[in-house]
């Protein structure tokens, strides 16, 4: 008995498709990985900008726009002494020592304005400080 061993024949189109697939797989395996937009980043997020610390007297006059400025009590020997300053300011009202006097009275502030990056107390269109 003669046994005929046959091997399956692959069509040329299928052979071409397999060769292209093998080349693509080899190319992908050897190329450096680039992070995709959907993959999570391993770098830490940038730190948020930090605000400068307040001066020793707790008053910050810095501003970038009018809304950064508010009227707060600066204080004096007489008591209430309003002044426009940065909203994050925490003024500590002055205390008069024994035997000291202060000139009492304060101007009426109509609004605050940010002029040349500094909070300014305003009376109408006239700056007070």
In a domain, 93, yes or no: yes
Q: Domains in the chain: how many in total?
A: 1
In a domain, 51, yes or no: no
Sheet of 111-115, strand order: 111-115, 118-123, 126-127
pTM (two decimals) = 0.54
In a domain, 61, yes or no: no
Phi then psi for 21, rounded to 5 degrees? -60, -45
> First and final CA of the chain: distance in angstroms?
118
Average pLDDT, rounded, for the chain? 75
Q: Which residue has the higher pLDDT, 38 or 103?
A: 103
pLDDT digit string (tens) for 71-106? 998 887 778 889 999 999 988 877 777 777 666 778
In a domain, 44, yes or no: no
Phi then psi for 122, rounded to 5 degrees? -120, 145
Tokens (6 digits) for 61: 């006059």
In a domain, 31, yes or no: no
pLDDT band at 17 (very low <50, low <70, confident <90, very high): low
In a domain, 103, yes or no: yes
């Amino acid at each position: 008995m003669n046994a005929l061993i046959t091997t399956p024949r692959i069509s040329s189109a299928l052979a071409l498709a397999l060769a292209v697939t093998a080349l693509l797989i080899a190319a992908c395996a050897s190329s450096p990985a680039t992070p995709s937009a959907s993959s999570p980043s391993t770098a830490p997020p940038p730190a948020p900008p930090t605000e400068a610390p307040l001066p020793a007297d707790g008053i910050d006059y810095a501003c970038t726009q009018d809304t950064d400025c508010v009227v707060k009590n600066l204080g004096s020997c007489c008591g209430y002494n309003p002044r426009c300053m940065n909203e994050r300011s925490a003024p500590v009202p002055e205390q008069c020592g024994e035997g000291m006097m202060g000139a009492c009275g304060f101007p009426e502030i109509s609004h605050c304005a940010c002029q040349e990056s500094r909070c300014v107390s305003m009376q109408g269109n006239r700056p007070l400080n």
